[in-house]
Every structure is written in C-alpha cells, then in structure tokens.
Amino acid sequence: MQWCEQTRNDFRLGPQIDAQLEQRKFKLGVTFTHGEWRRMQRENPASLAAVGFRDDPTKGAAEELRLEMEGRPEWTPGRSMKPPRTRTRRP
C-alpha cells in the first residue's frame, strides 16, 4: 500500500480528500482528423465509444475533430494535484 493511501485510511480522510479533488475538475481534450479517429475506431472501438466518438460520414478524412472529457486529479504520490496544461494541438 502506498503511503498516501495508508494516510488516507489511518486518518479517515477519504471523504475530505475526495471533496478536494472534486473541486479540481478539468477538461481533457485531444484533436485528430476524422481519418485518424476512424483508424483508431477500427483498431479499438470500445475505447473510442468511451470517449464519445461518433463518426460523421459527411466529414472528410482531413477535417479535424476535438473530443473533450471531464477529469480530476488522482490521489497519487509524486503527482501534481493541479490540472494538466492544455495543448492546442496534438503532440
């Protein structure tokens, strides 16, 4: 067990920690072309359904689409509890 989980359990801080993390929600987003989204859907349809991808056959393969999800930090040692920096383009 990690020290942070041990502390959470020993001091019964679970509800307070979860409340703090809930207040730190942020948007996670990524932009790909419709062609790239379609390729990823063929390779792993369940994952793309989970992030909300729905193919629009009227869109060309070169047209871009940005998908966003809501996230929150995790209670993990050595990791920042701040939202990640946003990017305007994919890596």
pLDDT of residue 91: 45
Residue 80: which pLDDT band, with cuts at 50, 70 and 90?
Answer: confident
Cα–Cα distance for residue pair 50/53, rounded to 1 Å? 8
Residue 62 maps to a domain: yes
pLDDT of residue 73: 87
Residue 86 maps to a domain: yes
pLDDT of residue 11: 95
Residue 24 maps to a domain: no
Q: How many residues does the chain have?
A: 91
Residue 76 domain boundaries? 30-91
DSSP of 26-69: EEEEEEEEHHHHHHHHHH-HHHHHHTT----TTS-TTSEEEEEE
Residue 22 maps to a domain: no
If one counts the domains in the chain, the total is 1
Residue 55 maps to a domain: yes
Residue 35 maps to a domain: yes
pLDDT in tens, 16-72: 999 999 998 998 889 999 999 999 999 999 999 988 999 999 999 999 999 998 988
Residue 77 maps to a domain: yes
pLDDT of residue 55: 95
Residue 20 maps to a domain: no
